[in-house]
Amino acid sequence: MGAGVAGQRRQISPALRWVTDISWRPGVIIALGLLGLVTVVFIAILGVGSTVGSSDTSGIGQILMITFIQAGLSTVFSLIVGILLAWSLRHRQQFPGRRLLLSVLSTSMVLPTLVVALGLVDVFGRRGWWNALIDLAGPGFDLATVSIYGLGGIVLAHTYMDAPFIARGLLHRLENIPAEHFKLARGLGLTPWQRFRNVEWPALVPAIPGQCLVVFLLSFTSFAIVLMIGGSPRFNTLEVAIYEAIKLEFDLPRAVALALVQLFVCAALVLLTMSLRSGNILQAVRRPAPMWPEPRFTLIMQWLVIALFTLFFVTPLIAVTLNGVGADFVRLAGTATFRLALVSSLWLASVSALLAIALALFMASSQRHFTSRLRSKPSPMNKLYRGLLTFSGTVYLAVPALVLGLGFFLLARSFLDDLTAVAPVALIAANVMMALPFALVILTPAMGKAADKYDRLAFSLDLHGWARWRLIEWPVLRQDLGYLLALTFCLSLGDLGVIALFGGQGFATLPWLLFQHMGSYRTADAAGIALVLLTLCLAVFFIVPRLFEGRTRAET
């Protein structure tokens, strides 16, 4: 076992060999580096904390409890919607607009939350489209009137933003189930439910804990949505308290203490998901899915799920579009600030996306080294390394952007006099850390899949380096890489938490410009910028994955 591993290394590109072969070191070094960065950030903040930290911890327990309930509900609903949608889309492979729908679904997560929230309010708000429809229907339908403000609204908004991410990841898992399994299921005459239970569910299970972890942490640290849609401070998250400690109280030790509580929760959840995560089951490289006619009831249900969720996910975006079309785009595009923001956003997002994916490849490669029996023997150290990799890859979700921005600012200031040049670096670092969890959640199972399926063969053929990447990893990963490139690019179009302290002349991003307009009555311009962002994200999600698809369909 692993005989080929020790084989000679004579390849062209050492970096590629690291990714594709056996080395786990780069990934672990990156993981340690990221954790080191977070530690340094915390120390830098504590170093300034000349104020005496108040030891007032009253209310934190209650905040944590409510937040756990809120984040738990958000995760459960996102998961249910995600599974239903992925399953329906898996079995309805061909309908007009399917590809566009997949692109549309992806945008809800990457748009600035304020844009998404206002779009949701347009549809489900007190004076929203839904309630207008109910009014039209007459007094008998009063019960169907919705109020978005409250816990239900928070969960609705989080589901809206996060379920598509789960759906996309799970859809891919379902599409990679070997055709033989479906043939067998059909041969045995399994009902759609039995087929789901015995063929499809086992394929989904390995991906679910990781995805739920990401969604849970996103909901756990949600800020603007929780305030705007929550209706009451009752549903505040720790993030609000951290903001208060930094901005209002300037009580930095307290801010660090609260941020550590979030980190602790994150670490505990990482441990939990690791114990839940079972090994990878065999998956095929994407093949044309066999299609057999489904029973009538199943068919209706699949169409219904697709139709309803399409309506749910598309209407708020239509609202965003309708709000934006009236903007004076000619004047907007004529301003130097807009052009600067557009250019900055585009190159920042490109660099951040490429970096994030490169780091994620190394980390996923290390991760699979420690999970694969062919590559390493199970040992407590393995588990430790895996925990380290997972924790380091999700840590940003638990570190508030404000804390990170503050830390970066202090670090940069202790080394440099002029901070203008540092702003892009800080922004890229934050973007990369923000994108990593999403990239890892998708790449880790995919890389594991490639190892499980082909390691034995590759090792025995002494296949490594570029050849292995081209023959094994690339075909398995290309689709995921296309989606991830689009996702990380759009996620990185503009981060708001970090830019705040670095702000100055000559640097702006589109979301920052959007907020600036919105903050000074310029609602129409803000809506116009939101539409530009939406169009940009849609285009990227529509085009980029397609570039990576290549000839896959014809490969079998």
Please tell me whether residue 250 binds another protein under the rule CB under 8 A: yes
Q: Which stretch binds another protein (CB under 8 A): 74-82, 188-196, 465-473, 501-509?
A: 501-509
Give dist(CA 485, CA 545) in Å, integer.
8
Contact with another protein (CB under 8 A): which of 190, 516, 542, 552? 516
CA 18 remoteness from chain centre? 25
Among 94, 330, 519, 554, binds another protein (CB under 8 A): 519
Which residue's CB is nearer to another protein, number 94 or number 505? 505
Contact region with another protein (CB under 8 A), list: 23-31, 173-181, 246-254, 371-379: 246-254
Interface segment toward another protein; rule CB under 8 A; list 24-32, 99-107, 268-276, 499-507: 499-507
Nearer to another protein, 54 or 460 (CB): 54
Tokens linked to 415: 């080394």
**Total Cβ atoms within 10 A of residue 516:** 16
Contact 91, 193 (CB under 8 A): no
**Shortest separation between residue 233's beta carbon and another protein, angstroms:** 4
Rounded CA Rg of the chain: 24
Q: 3-class secondary structure for 443-467?
A: HHHHHHHHHHHHHHHHHHCCCCHHH
Amino acid at 226: V
Which one of 210-218, 240-248, 360-368, 372-380 is the stretch in contact with another protein (CB under 8 A)? 240-248
Using the rule CB under 8 A, which residue among 35, 40, 224, 301 binds another protein? 224
Count the site residues for another protein by CB under 8 A: 63
**Amino acid at position 247, single letter:** K
Length of the chain: 556
Q: CA-CA distance, 40 to 410, in Å (whole number)?
A: 10
- Scanning 171-179, 210-218, 305-313, 496-504 for contacts with another protein by CB under 8 A, the matching segment is 496-504
176, 162 contact by CB (below 8 A) = no
- Provide the token pair at 536: 């940009």
Q: What residues contact residue 86 under an 8 Å CB cut-off, 6+ apart?
A: 166, 167, 168, 169, 170, 171, 173, 174, 204
Q: Does residue 231 contact residue 150 with C-beta atoms inside 8 Å?
A: yes
Task: Using the rule CB under 8 A, give the single segment among 123-131, 300-308, 443-451, 468-476 that binds another protein.
Answer: 123-131
Nearest approach, Cβ of 86 to another protein (angstroms)? 32
- Residue 550 CB contacts under 8 Å (≥ 6 apart), including other chains: 478
- 461 is a contact residue toward another protein (CB under 8 A): no
Residue number with CB closer to another protein (475 or 497): 497
Q: Is 114 in the site for another protein (CB under 8 A)?
A: yes
**134 lines the binding site for another protein (CB under 8 A):** no
Applying CB under 8 A, does 523 fall inside the site for another protein?
yes
Within 145-164, the residues that bind another protein by CB under 8 A are 149
- Residue 69 as a binder of another protein (CB under 8 A): the answer is no
Contact indicator for 157, 123 with CB cutoff of 8 Å: no
One of 1, 347, 379, 381 touching another protein (CB under 8 A): 347
String of contacts with another protein for each residue 439-458, x by CB under 8 A: --------------------
Which distant-in-sequence residues (6+ apart) come within 8 Å of 32 by Cβ?
388, 392
The distance of closest approach from Cβ of residue 504 to another protein in the complex, given in angstroms and rounded to an integer, is 5
CA distance 219 to 221: 5
Residue 117 in the binding site for another protein (CB under 8 A)? yes
**Residue from 11, 350, 382, 552 that binds another protein (CB under 8 A)?**
350
Query: Exposed/middle/buried for 459, CB within 10 Å: 0-12, 13-18, 19+?
Result: buried
Is residue 470 at the binding interface for another protein, with CB under 8 A as the rule? no
- Burial class for 442, CB neighbours closer than 10 Å (0-12, 13-18, 19+): buried
Please report how close the Cβ of residue 336 comes to another protein at its closest, in angstroms.
8
Q: Cβ of residue 412: shortest distance to another protein, in angstroms?
A: 11
Is 186 strand, coil or helix? helix
Question: Are the CB atoms for 526 and 517 separated by under 8 Å?
Answer: yes
Q: Which two tokens stand for residue 173?
A: 């898992």
Q: How far apart (Å, rounded) are the C-alpha atoms in residues 116 and 509?
A: 18
Site string for another protein, 364-383 (x = CB under 8 A): --------------------
Q: Is 542 in the site for another protein (CB under 8 A)?
A: no
- Residue 244 binds another protein (CB under 8 A): yes
CB of 243 to another protein, least distance (A): 6
Give the residue, chosen from 32, 421, 543, 547, that forms a contact with another protein under the rule CB under 8 A: 421
Q: Is 504 in the site for another protein (CB under 8 A)?
A: yes
Question: For another protein, which stretch binds (CB under 8 A), given 161-169, 372-380, 404-412, 532-540?
Answer: 404-412
CB of 403 to another protein, least distance (A): 13
* Residue placing its CB nearer to another protein in the complex, 359 or 388: 359
Contact with another protein (CB under 8 A): which of 103, 106, 108, 236? 236
Residue 183 to residues 90, 120, 166, 188, 286, Cα–Cα distance (Å): 15, 42, 26, 9, 16
Q: What's the count of helices (H) and strands (E) in the chain, helices before strands?
A: 25, 0
DSSP 8-state class, residue 207: G
* Residues engaged in binding another protein (CB under 8 A): 48, 114, 117-118, 121-122, 125-127, 149, 223-224, 227-234, 236, 240, 243-244, 246-250, 335, 337, 344, 347, 350-351, 354-355, 358, 406, 409-410, 413, 417-418, 420-421, 423-424, 500-501, 503-507, 515-516, 518-523
